A and B are shown apart, each in its own frame.
Chain A
């Protein structure tokens, strides 16, 4: 602790340079935190929602392509399958075609919904009201809170993908691990569209998580030689492929994040090298006073790590504020229902910051520790 003042004062030596370095690190770590949160959201789907008991059947070409409704019966005959229900992305416009009004909308078989998505919690009265009324809909609590919906509200969705506008009545608000989805009756939309019988995905409930691999293979084998071959995958993998409709966002964010972090590490190393070069004489004086090379190394590395950690903290705070409090998180949550800046994401961001500091400060600190006192003092004389 007695060295902390010396470290802090050295960090403040060139305020502009330190501030810019902190900002550079924070931008890169912010991207890294975003990437990490996206990764966690992909991986977290099955863990958080009981999704290990479910697989998703979709077309092997794209999640945007469709399958015949008749597949449901064949899927339900596969050993290990308890139940399956058809689900389609509606993608209607609520109020205005703006990101803040976007949310996940699925028209589904409302009878099977609660059996397969068993984690959705709602009162039996609300459940019954939803299932009995063709124009009824339910929303997750987070979604209802965002738009200040209450049971009985009428919600209009203008068709963007399908040529039909819907007027729906909110009959229930569910709670659960994913509270940002809006469900309504498949029957209502099918009728309005003239019963095309097309299904975007089948959500399949398994008898046990251990059956997943076999069931996925058997379902895909079942339709391999049909006009509409399928691709069956876990919920987590499905969420990832759904995201790929937007382009490979995961790879894009991940790639940019890693490149920026790498670049910032190099810039940080250059900054630390500049700082160390300016202080050759001071380091020589400190060594003459009795500071050992290891102590010099520790002091200079501490500076680099502390600067990077300041950047990391700034990034974590920014990510928390931007994604959760400002509301951008809700927009992302349409596609990544478990997207959040969690404690583990913050820990990873801070760890990455510390690593940036260690790597960028390592060589300059090592060189400073090895400065010859005589050579260092001669630079002045």
Chain B
């Protein structure tokens, strides 16, 4: 059985809007194994993205613990969280969120600017990441010169360039046609299987969710899990 990478212990999150308290997540418990590919589904407003944001360290719970690799990230301050995210998390967004004035190469290089790597090493890392997503020939292209699927692949290259253990993907195929979506899902699956990335993917699409090892359903702030406990494939460790 695989080691637990992420453990949520009675995590509660609510927002305040105009003095009204809006509960989003209520005492959520969840364990995600290292190397697991997990899909999160649920109706709009069910708290999927909020849960993803909490696990990725871009939002904080009102109560509860979020243990990632044994560290409670809910206790980290903003500076520590920034550093932690840079090292451990890769982000993939529905609308790709590439910087339009930067080329594909520069977009992928962006997280590496925070490291002490030399220019040459940064270039090596970027070209490796672009090769993984099959876009090494497009390094000088700007986002506007790429198709939606290609933009998302650049975004995935940006997410993996620092070699994080965890990839969080919020509706990564939500803005793509079926063919491009299938390519992106195949790529995510490959990153999971070949590169052993733990992937948490929010999706509305059951076909996308079918690529995951397990699916968790969120509804009215409560969570249910379908799919067995993840077993590490032979040769992963």
Contacts and interface: CB of A to CB of B under 8 A. Distances in A.
A6 B58 contact: no
Contacts of B49: 381
Contacts of B59: 373-374
Given A281-B97, A380-B95, A381-B49, A291 B114 contact: yes
Interface string B79-98: 10011011100010111010
Contacts, number: 69
A167 interface: no
A288 B110 CA distance: 12
Interface string A269-301: 000000000000110011111111101000000
Contacts of B101: 9-10, 12-13
B56 A381 contact: no
Given A10-B101, A282-B99, A290 B93 contact: no
A9 B143 CA distance: 14
A290 B97 contact: no
Given A2-B119, A6-B113, A374-B58, A289 B85 contact: yes
Given A9-B101, A13-B101, A289 B110 contact: yes
Contacts of B94: 380-381
Nearest to A380: B95
A34 B170 CA distance: 56
Contacts of B113: 2-3, 6
A374 B110 contact: no
Q: How large is the interface on A (under 10, 10 to 19, 20 to 34, 35 or more residues)?
A: 20 to 34
A2 B83 CA distance: 19
A295 B170 CA distance: 26
Contact of A290 (B100, B102, B111): B111
Contacts of B102: 6, 9
Nearest to A279: B99
B97 A291 contact: no
Contacts of B180: none
Contacts of A286: 99, 110
A10 B94 CA distance: 23
Contacts of B119: 2
B231 interface: no
Nearest to B122: A2
Contacts of A13: 100-101
Contact of B91 (A5, A6, A285, A293): A285
B82 to A, nearest CB: 5
A241 to B, nearest CB: 55
A377 interface: yes
Contact of B83 (A10, A290, A293, A380): A290
Contacts of A290: 82-83, 85-87, 111, 114
A3 B53 CA distance: 27
A288 B85 contact: yes
B106 interface: yes
Interface in B44-61: 49, 53, 56, 58-59
Given A10-B101, A282-B97, A288 B58 contact: yes
Contacts of B58: 287-288, 373-374, 377
B154 to A, nearest CB: 13
Given A289-B86, A290-B82, A290-B114, A374 B106 contact: no
A285 B97 contact: yes
Nearest to A381: B94
B78 interface: yes
B32 to A, nearest CB: 19
Contact of A374 (B53, B100, B111): B53
A292 B97 contact: no
Given A290-B114, A380-B95, A381-B94, A6 B106 contact: yes
A12 B83 CA distance: 29
Contacts of A377: 58, 93, 97
A291 B81 CA distance: 10
Given A6-B113, A13-B101, A373-B58, A287 B91 contact: no
Nearest to B112: A2
A292 B91 contact: no
16 contacts: A9-B102, A13-B101, A281-B97, A285-B91, A285-B99, A288-B85, A289-B85, A290-B82, A291-B82, A373-B53, A373-B59, A374-B59, A377-B97, A380-B95, A381-B49, A381-B94
Interface of B: 49, 53, 56, 58-59, 78-79, 82-83, 85-87, 91, 93-95, 97, 99-102, 106, 110-111, 113-114, 119, 158, 170
Interface of A: 2-3, 5-6, 9-10, 12-13, 281-282, 285-293, 295, 373-374, 377, 380-381
Given A289-B91, A292-B82, A374-B53, 4 more contacts: A9-B102, A289-B110, A290-B83, A380-B93
3 shortest interchain CB distances as A-B pairs: A290-B86, A373-B58, A9-B101
